[in-house]
C-alpha cells in the first residue's frame, strides 16, 4: 500500500473556475459560507469556491489520458470526460460490452396473456455472485472506474468507493475578509453585418439589441486551499463483496493501475487543469504559494492548508503518527523545517514525491 496526501495554497487571480448557474444573462460563481474566529468573535463570510466535484473531474480527465497512453482499458464515456460510471444497465453495457446479470425470474404461474405474473426473489448466493460479476467486469473494462469509483444502481446495487479524495477549494484564513466576487460585462457583437437587419418599425429596438448580446460573468481573485489524497491499496482489487475483499481482480494489474494514478496526479498538480470557462477565463495567475506532499505506507493525511502553519503542523503530526512518512515541500519563502524535504520549485517537489511513491509500489 502507498498513500499520498497533498495540501497546498494556490493563487488564482481573475478566475471564474466554478460557475454554478445562469440567471438570465448573469452567470454566478459558486460560493460557500466559511466561519472563522477573528479576535474574540466568530464571523461567517460567503466566499468564492471551487467544488471537490470540479477537482475530481479534472483529475479523472487527466487519469483517462494517462491510462490510455499506457494501453490500459478506459471505457468510451470516461475517455471523453463523461463520467456516468456504469450507473444503470444501459451504461454498464456500454462500459463492459455485455448485459448485467439478471436476478429476478418469473414463476411458472400467471403466464397467460393479461394475467399478472409473480416474481421469485433471488437467493443471497445469487445476489453475491451477480454483485461480484458486476464489479469484476466494470473494473476489467475501465481503469477510471476502478480508481475513481462507481455506483451501479441496478439490481443488485454495487458501489465502489473512489481511491482518491478531494474537497472544496476555498480562500485561506488570512484573506476570507478581503475576497469579493464582481460581475464583469461582456458582449457578443454582430451589428454591422448582414446577419442583423435594422428595420424602421416598432421592432427596430429589439432587432438592434439582438445584434449585441450583453452578459455578465462573476469573477474573483484569491489565495485558495487545495487538498487531495490517494490510497492505492484497493486499486485493481475487489472491494464490494466481503468474502473477496482485497483479492486481485483477474486480468487487472494493480501495480500498473496504481502507477498510472500516481502519474496522473503528478501531471495534474504540475498543470493544474481545474476549472470551467478556461478558454476565455484562464486565470491571470496560477501559482503555488506553497505545496506539501506526504508519501506513506499507510493512511497519513496532511493537516488542512486553510491556516498558514499547516507544514509545521504536518511535521508535528509525523513525529507522532508517521506511517514511514516522507514529506516533500515547496514554499515561496523557503520551508527550512527539519524532517521535510524542501525544493526550489513546486514541480520538483511533486516529481520527487511521485518517484518515491512509485518506488514503494514496486517494493510492496
Task: Give yes or no: residues 91 and 238 share one domain.
Answer: yes
Residue 282 lies in a domain: yes
**Mean per-residue pLDDT for 55-71?**
98
What is the C-alpha to C-alpha distance for residues 131 and 157, in angstroms, rounded to an integer? 7
Q: What pLDDT, on the 0 to 100 scale, is given for residue 339?
A: 87
Answer yes or no: is 112 within a domain.
Answer: no
**Across 30-47, average pLDDT:** 95
Average pLDDT over residues 295-301: 98
Supply the pLDDT for residue 327: 98
* 108 confidence band (pLDDT: 50, 70, 90): very low
Based on the fold, state whether residues 278 and 328 are members of the same structural domain. yes
Structural domain contains residue 244: yes
Residues 210 and 233 both lie in one domain: no
- Phi and psi angles of residue 344, each rounded to the nearest 5 degrees, phi first: -80, -25
Burial class (CB in 10 A: 0-12, 13-18, 19+), 68: middle
Q: What is the pLDDT of residue 172?
A: 98
Between 343 and 205, whose confidence is greater? Answer: 343
Number of independent structural domains in the chain:
2
Segment 63-76 shows an average pLDDT of 97
Q: What is the pLDDT of residue 338?
A: 86
C-alpha cell at 251: 486480468
Whether 120 has a pLDDT exceeding 90, the answer reads no
In this predicted model, what pLDDT tens digit does every residue of 312-324 receive, in sequence order?
999 999 999 999 9
Residue 181: inside a domain, yes or no?
A: no
The pLDDT tens digits for 9-32 are 999 999 999 999 899 899 999 999
- Kindly state whether residues 296 and 321 are assigned to the same domain: yes
In a domain, 310, yes or no: yes
Q: Could you tell me the residue range of the domain that residue 235 belongs to?
A: 3-101+125-172+219-363
Q: Give yes or no: residues 245 and 288 share one domain.
A: yes
**pLDDT at residue 343 is higher than 60:** yes
List residues bridging with 55 in a β-sheet: none
- Buried residues in 239-257 as b, exposed as e (16+ CB within 10 A): bbbeebeeeebeebebebb
The answer to whether residues 57 and 166 belong to one domain is yes
228 and 310 housed in the same domain: yes
Instruction: Average the pLDDT over 130-153 and give the result.
Output: 98
Residues 45 and 94 in one domain: yes
pLDDT of residue 277 exceeding 90: no
- Mean pLDDT calculated for residue range 201-220: 71
Query: What are the start-end ranges of the E strands in the chain?
Result: 3-15, 19-23, 26-29, 31-38, 41-48, 105-106, 119-120, 150-152, 158-160, 164-166, 181-189, 212-231, 285-296, 326-331, 341-342
Contact 315, 327 (CB under 8 A): yes
pLDDT computed for residue 104 by the predictor: 65
Cell numbers that stand for 122 in this block: 433471488
> How high is the pLDDT of residue 110?
47
Work out the average pLDDT over 300-316.
97
- Please indicate, yes or no, whether residues 208 and 347 belong to a single structural domain of this protein: no
The reply to whether 156 falls in a domain is yes
Residue 159 covered by a domain: yes
Residues 239 and 149 in one domain: yes
Q: How high is the pLDDT of residue 121?
A: 80
Answer whether residue 119 is part of any domain.
no
Amino acid at each position: 500500500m502507498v498513500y499520498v496526501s497533498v495540501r497546498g495554497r494556490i493563487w488564482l487571480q481573475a478566475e471564474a473556475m466554478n460557475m454554478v448557474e445562469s440567471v438570465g444573462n448573469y452567470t454566478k460563481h459558486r460560493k460557500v459560507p466559511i466561519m472563522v474566529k477573528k479576535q474574540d468573535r466568530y464571523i461567517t463570510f460567503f466566499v468564492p469556491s471551487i467544488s471537490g466535484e470540479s477537482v475530481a473531474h479534472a483529475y479523472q480527465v487527466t487519469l483517462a489520458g494517462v491510462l490510455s497512453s499506457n494501453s490500459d482499458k478506459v471505457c468510451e464515456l470516461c475517455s471523453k470526460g463523461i463520467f456516468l460510471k456504469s450507473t444503470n444497465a444501459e451504461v454498464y453495457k456500454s462500459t463492459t460490452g455485455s448485459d448485467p446479470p439478471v436476478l429476478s425470474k418469473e414463476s411458472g404461474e400467471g403466464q397467460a396473456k393479461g394475467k399478472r405474473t409473480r416474481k421469485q426473489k433471488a437467493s443471497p448466493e445469487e445476489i453475491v455472485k451477480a454483485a461480484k460479476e458486476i464489479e469484476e467486469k466494470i473494473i476489467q473494462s475501465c481503469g477510471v472506474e476502478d480508481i475513481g469509483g462507481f455506483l451501479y444502481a441496478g439490481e443488485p446495487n454495487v458501489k465502489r468507493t473512489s481511491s482518491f479524495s478531494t474537497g472544496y477549494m476555498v480562500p485561506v484564513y488570512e484573506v476570507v475578509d478581503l475576497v469579493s466576487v464582481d460581475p464583469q460585462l461582456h458582449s457578443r457583437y454582430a451589428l454591422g453585418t448582414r446577419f442583423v437587419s435594422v428595420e424602421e418599425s416598432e421592432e427596430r429596438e429589439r432587432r438592434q439589441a439582438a445584434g449585441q448580446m450583453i452578459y455578465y460573468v462573476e469573477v474573483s481573485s484569491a489565495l485558495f486551499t487545495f487538498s487531495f489524497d490517494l490510497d492505492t491499496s484497493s486499486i485493481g482489487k475487489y472491494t464490494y463483496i466481503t468474502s473477496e475483499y482485497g483479492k486481485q481482480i483477474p486480468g487487472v494489474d494493480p501495480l500498473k493501475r496504481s502507477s498510472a494514478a500516481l502519474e496522473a496526479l503528478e501531471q495534474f498538480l504540475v498543470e493544474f487543469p481545474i476549472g470551467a470557462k478556461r478558454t476565455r477565463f484562464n486565470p491571470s495567475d496560477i501559482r503555488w504559494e506553497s505545496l506539501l506532499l506526504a508519501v506513506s505506507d499507510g493512511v497519513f493525511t496532511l493537516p488542512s492548508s486553510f491556516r498558514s502553519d499547516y507544514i509545521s503542523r504536518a511535521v508535528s503530526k509525523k513525529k507522532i503518527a508517521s506511517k514511514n512518512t516522507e514529506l516533500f515541500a515547496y514554499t515561496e519563502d523557503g520551508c527550512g523545517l527539519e524532517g521535510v524535504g524542501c525544493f526550489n520549485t513546486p514541480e520538483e517537489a511533486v516529481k520527487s514525491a511521485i518517484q518515491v511513491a512509485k518506488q514503494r509500489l514496486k517494493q510492496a
